[in-house]
Amino acid sequence: MIIDTLNNAFLYRSLGPRIASALDYIKTTDFSSMAVGRHTIDQDRLFAIVNDYQTIPCTEVELEGHRRYIDVQYLVSGTELIGYAPLLEQTPFREYNNEEDDVLYRDEATFVRITAGMFAILYPHDLHMPCIGEVPVAVRKVVVKVMI
């Protein structure tokens, strides 16, 4: 898992051309008035999902993992906690859903605070629990899905 501010996005361009494209898209797009939902960037290889929500307690969310996509999660506004655990030998409590590209786990997580202007790059070996807040906070987040 990589967490940083958008000002440092240039440091991660070497992670691959699709990661570089995702970061470029985030840097050059005004998300403040963009419609909630899916926005195609490069067919199914690269697309963005814009979400508005209220943060929720960690007891209401499970760790998730992906197999086909890397997440580049960018906080446009608000503050949230993202839980993290490395994928080791955990047993999923909900098996892989191919349509949603996710598998869910119950495990302990370490939490990191993300604020507006920050992003997280989450690989398939990075189990994550987004959308967490100690109190409800309005968040606008963009998740760019990067096909592996």
The Cα–Cα gap between 119 and 141 comes to 10
- The CATH code for residues 2-31+38-147 is 2.60.120.370
* Rounded distance between C-alpha atoms, residue 43 and residue 13, angstroms: 21
Judge contact between 75 and 83, C-beta under 8 A.
Answer: no
Task: Give the model's pLDDT for residue 52.
Answer: 98
The answer to whether 124 and 67 are in contact (CB under 8 A) is yes
**Extents of the domains making up the chain:** 2-31+38-147
Q: What is the pLDDT of residue 13?
A: 95
Q: Which of 91, 148, 83 is nearest to 112 (CA)?
A: 83
Instruction: Please report the pLDDT score of residue 147 as a whole number.
Output: 97
Q: How far is CA 145 from CA 11, 36, 46, 93, 107, in A?
A: 19, 15, 6, 24, 24
pLDDT at 27: 97
pLDDT for the residue 140: 98
Residue 12: the pLDDT is 98
What pLDDT does 91 receive? Answer: 92
How does DSSP classify residue 83? E
pTM of the model: 0.95
- Average pLDDT per block of 10 residues along the chain, 148 residues long: 97 97 97 96 97 96 96 98 96 93 95 98 97 96 98
State how far the alpha carbon of 77 is from the alpha carbons of 39, 88, 103, 140, in Å.
Answer: 19, 32, 27, 5
Helices (H), the chain: 17-28
